[in-house]
Amino acid sequence: MAARILIVEDEEPLTMLLRYNLEAAGYTVDSAARGDEAELKLRESTPDLVVLDWMLPAVSGIEICRRLRAQPATAKLPIIMLTARGEESERVRGLTTGADDYVVKPFSVSELMARINALLRRAKPERVAAVLRAGDIEFDRERRRVFRAGREITLGPTEFRLLEYLIQSPGRVFSREQLLNGVWGHDVYIEDRTVDVHIGRLRKALSDSGERDPIRTVRGSGYAFDERYQK
C-alpha cells in the first residue's frame, strides 16, 4: 500500500506542485489549507507523514505540531515543517516542538522529495519500496544500482534520478518542464534541451546491449517510461 501524505499549506500553487510530484512518485496525497481543517482531517485518519507549513490560518503549524506530539496516537507521526523562517533560532524552535525535519522556502522539490523518502524509509519502511521493478529492469534505491536482465547499468547521478522519476509512473507522460522541476528542482534554471541530452544518455545506457528502448518519446508532449514495462 502506498504511503499517504497530508500536505498542510495555504499557498495553493505550492500545494498543487507538491501534490503533482508526490502522486507521480506513487504516494497517496490529501491536503488542507487551514490549521483547523488539518486537525479535522488528522482526527478522521492518521497519514503516514505530514508536510506542515509553519504559518497557517486559524491554527499555526507549530501549534499543530505541538498538539500532535502531545497525543499518543500521533506522537511518532513523521512531520516535515515548511517555513519562510530561516533563522537558526526558528529552526531550533521547530525541531524542539517535535518536527522531524525542517525545509526553508523557497526549496527544491527534488530535495523535499528526497527528505520525504528518507523519513518514510526510517519511520515506515514497509511503505517505501527499496527496489522498483519494471519488465527486465530492476532499480535499487538503497544500493543506488540499476540492473537490466541481470546486467548492471552504470548511470550518472542525474540519469539515476531521471530514471527513478520516470519508472515510478510507467505510461505517464512528463513534459520537459515537469522533468526539470521534478529532477533538477523548480528553483534551478536549466534549459529544456538539457532534458533531451540526459534522456539520450539514459537511453544509451539502458539499451547498450541492443535491448528495446524503454523510454517513449511523445511528440509535442515529452517523455514516458513505456507502460508495457509495468508489471
- What confidence tens digit (pLDDT) does each residue in 157-170 have? 999 989 988 887 77
Q: Per-residue pLDDT averaged across 205-220, rounded?
A: 90
pLDDT in tens, 134-159: 888 998 877 889 999 899 999 999 99
The residue extents of the domains of the chain are 4-127, 131-229
Q: Which pLDDT value is given to residue 32?
A: 96
What residue has cell string 531550533?
92
Measured CA to CA, the distance from residue 69 to residue 67 in angstroms comes to 5
pLDDT at res. 213: 92
Query: pLDDT digit string (tens) for 40-80?
Result: 999 988 999 999 998 899 999 999 999 999 998 899 999 99
Per-residue exposure over 132-145, b if at least 16 CB sit within 10 Å of its own CB, e if not: bebbebbbeeeeee
Tell me, what's the pLDDT at 91? 62
Q: Round the average pLDDT of the chain to a whole number and report it.
A: 85
Kindly state the average pLDDT of the residues 194-215.
92
pLDDT for the residue numbered 13? 93
Over 92-108, what HEC string results? Answer: HHHHHHCCCEEEECCCC
d(CA 80, CA 197): 34
Rounded to 10 deg, the angle between the 192-206 and 157-167 helix axes is: 90
* 210 vs 229 pLDDT, higher one: 210
Q: Which amino acid is at 160?
A: F
**Residue 228 pLDDT > 50, yes or no?**
yes
Are the CB atoms for 163 and 146 separated by under 8 Å? yes
CATH code for 131-229? Answer: 1.10.10.10
Q: Does domain 4-127 have CATH number 3.40.50.2300?
A: yes
Q: Is the pLDDT of residue 194 over 70?
A: yes
* Closest-CA residue to 34 (of 15, 13, 60, 72): 60
Q: How far apart are CA 226 and CA 214, in angstroms?
A: 5
Measuring CA to CA, which residue among 82, 52, 57 is closest to residue 67? Answer: 52
Pick from 85-94, 102-111, 118-127: least confident: 85-94
SS3 166: helix
Q: What is the pTM of this model?
A: 0.59
